[in-house]
Amino acid sequence: MYVDTLPSLAREYWHALAHSKPGLAYDEAIPRARLEVGKLRVDPQALARYRSFVGSSENFPLAYAYVLAQPAHFHLINQPDFPVRCVGLVHASNHTRRLGEIDPDQPLALSVAVTEDHPRRRGREFILHTVLSQNGRDLIDMNSTCFTRVRGAPRGETARPSEAPLVNVEAGEHLADLRFAAHFGRRYARVSGDYNPIHLAAWLARPFGFRRAIAHGVGSMARIEAELARGSGAATREMAIRFRRPLELPGHTVLHRCAQDPAGYVLLDANGRELLSGIRR
C-alpha cells in the first residue's frame, strides 16, 4: 500500500475507536502487510518542543523517529483487512539504529512492514519494521515489537508456547534519579501527538485495567536517551528498550548502568523492580 502523506495520529486514534474489528483468532497468522509513505516532513518547531521537553541536546533524538512513524503504524493497522486492533495493542520493545544524519529541512520517505509473527501466551507478538530514508538513503532503521491478545486462546501454563523466560537485569552503577510527574503523560502527548487515554489521567486509564495513568513507553525511552547522551557526550547511534512493567504516574525511578554490559541500562521503580531495560550506544 502506498500513500503520499499520512493523516494525523489523532485522526488515526479516532478511526481505531470508532471502527470495530472481530480481532485476531488464536490460530490466525498476522498478514505481512506493508505501507510506504512518499513524503514526510519534520516540523522544526515540533521537534524543538520535543527536544526541550525530554531534555535532549541531540539534533534528532532517536526516540523522535518513533513519533514520526507512529501515525504510519496506526494507519497500517487500521486497514479493514488487517485483523489486529490498535485499541489494546501493547508496545513490548523497540530497537532503533541511526544509519546516517537526517536533514530536518528535507522531506523523508517512510516504509513500515510486518516482518515477524510469534505466538505468545494468550496472544501474538509481531514486529513493525520501519525505515526512514532521505534522497534514496536509509537513515533510520527501527523494529517495534507489539503484542495483541487473541480470541480463543487456551488457558493455563500448558498453553504457554516455548519461549525464553524474561531475565531480570542486574543493576550496576547508579546514573540518575528520574522523576515522572503526574502530568507527564499529558505533557508528552502535546509534544508527540500520542493522546492514548491510558497516559492522560487515572480515570481514563482504569477502564483499560490500570490503577493510575502510565507513562508513554517511548516517552520514558526519550528521557533515558537524553540522560545517557548527556553523560556520554556523544550522539546516540543505537537504542534498544524492553518494557517490563508499566511506569505509573507520578513515579520516582532510578536509572542504573547494567552490571553485565557497560552499554546496557535498567530503570527501577521505588521498590527496586525493573520497569524497563536495554542498550544505548
Is 72 in a helix, a strand, or coil? Answer: helix
Would the pLDDT of 55 be above 90?
yes
Q: Evaluate if residue 156 carries a pLDDT over 70.
A: no
**Range 192-195, long-range pairs (CB < 8 A, 24+ positions):** 192/50, 192/67, 192/70, 192/216, 192/218, 192/219, 193/8, 193/9, 193/10, 193/67, 193/70, 193/71, 194/9, 194/67, 194/70, 194/218, 195/9, 195/10, 195/13
The confidence score (pLDDT) of residue 117 equals 86
- Structure confidence at residue 77 (pLDDT): 93
Could you list the residue range(s) of the whole structural domain that residue 10 is in? Answer: 2-159
Same domain, 79 and 154: yes
Residue 213: is its pLDDT beyond 90?
Answer: yes
Average pLDDT over the chain reads 90
Which of residues 274 and 86 earns the better pLDDT score?
274
* 90 & 186 share domain: no
14 within some domain: yes
Residue 7: band (very low, low, confident or very high) from pLDDT cuts 50, 70, 90: confident
Task: Using pLDDT thresholds of 50, 70 and 90, give the confidence band for residue 155.
Answer: low
DSSP type of residue 121: T
Whether 166 maps to a domain, the answer reads no
Picking from 96, 104, 101, the residue whose alpha carbon sits closest to that of residue 137 is 101
User: Is residue 191 one of the residues assigned to a domain?
Assistant: yes
Please report which confidence band the pLDDT of residue 159 belongs to, taking 50, 70 and 90 as the band edges: very low
Amino acid at 239: M
Do 74 and 111 lie in a common domain? Answer: yes
For the segment 17-37, the average pLDDT, to the nearest whole number, is 86
Whether 180 maps to a domain, the answer reads yes
Distance CA 220, CA 275 (A): 10
247 and 175 in a common domain: yes
Co-location of 76 and 148 in the same domain: yes
CATH of the domain at 238: 3.10.129.10
Residues 211 and 117 in one domain: no
pLDDT band at 158 (very low <50, low <70, confident <90, very high): very low
Domain contains 120: yes
Q: Could you say which of 159, 193, 209 is where a domain stops?
A: 159
Domain boundary among 112, 137, 159: 159
> Across residues 221-225, what is the average pLDDT?
96
For 74-87, what is the mean pLDDT?
90
Q: Is residue 150 part of a domain?
A: yes
| 102 and 130, same domain (yes or no) | yes
In this prediction, residue 138 has a pLDDT band, given cuts at 50, 70 and 90, of very high
**Tens digit of each residue's pLDDT (9 = 90 or more) over 87-127:** 778 899 999 999 999 998 899 999 999 998 888 877 889 99
**164 assigned to some structural domain:** no
